[in-house]
Copies of this chain bind each other. A is one copy, B any other.
Amino acid sequence: MIGLDDRGLTLGDGLFETLLALDGALQAAPEHLARMVQGCAVIGLPPPDPDQALSLMQAAITTAGLQSGRAAVRLTLTAGPGGRGLERPPTPVPRLFATAAPSPLAEGPARLAVSAVRRNAGSPASRLKTLSYLDNVLARRQARAAGADEALMLNGAGEVACASAANLFWLQDGRLHTPALDCGVLAGVTRAKVMAAAGRRGLAVVEAHAGLEALAAAEGLFLTNSLIGVRPVASLDGRPLAAADLVALLRGEVG
């Protein structure tokens, strides 16, 4: 339980991370913790203690009885208790907690629908996993209402950014493309893994500023996040997309 004056609840003032645990073992924990620490620096909060964070996440796995199989572990840091108004107390005392839930692997390739909700590239929050995630909730809701699995989000300038809960990649002209971070995109842990794997294979990676029309000419569109790994995209707004062998190959390499 958390107090009604917690700024995470009242103002979305905080950050989170979602990690995959396989048979109780947290995957890429140092990368996730480093990202939360960096995010705290951006929004001006004291960083979490990594050992405490790891203990909380392991305890959450045990409490949920998820020591075997796939679990999604969420680490949440709020700005802590606060008085009325937007301004934090002079010395914020963040709250850190973790929860765990089963995380079955999504079945089959995803159907995407372009969302009317835009990413706000003009805020640092668009490059962080913050507790102010309503835009993502609304984008996903639109996608589901349109019969799709996930939303494709553009930024205010109409550039392709990401899905509501995943980074986006595509192949074009023999190169791998993914939206640049300043399009308003989270620096995903799996995004970085895919870029490294592509580099090892000698495949050029372009961090792109691209409009929707770029995707019409693309093949091998896929989504990445820590829970789904690499998930191919089958269609965009109902139009089937070309598949690419390389996606299965990257999928085998990064999970």
Contact = CB atoms under 8 A, between A and B. Distances in A.
Interface of A: 1-13, 16, 43-44, 72, 74, 76, 78, 83-88, 97, 99, 101, 103, 116-125, 130-138, 140-141, 144, 155-157, 164-165
Indicate how many identical chains form the complex.
Answer: 2
A50 B132 CA distance: 26
A137 B11 contact: yes
Contacts of A85: 165
Given A11-B131, A11-B137, A131-B11, A156 B121 contact: yes
A13 B135 contact: no
Contacts of A6: 9
Contacts of A137: 7, 11, 13, 43, 86, 88
A95 to B, nearest CB: 10
A83 to B, nearest CB: 7
B120 A122 contact: yes
A8 B11 contact: no
Contacts of A76: 4, 9-10
A125 B135 contact: yes
Contact of A84 (B87, B101, B125): B101
Contacts of A72: 84
Contacts of A1: 1-4
Contact of A123 (B7, B118, B121, B157): B118
7 contacts: A1-B2, A9-B76, A12-B130, A12-B133, A13-B137, A87-B140, A123-B135
A251 to B, nearest CB: 21
A131 B10 contact: yes
Given A84-B101, A99-B4, A135 B117 contact: no
Contacts of A123: 117-118, 120, 135, 138
Nearest to A164: B86
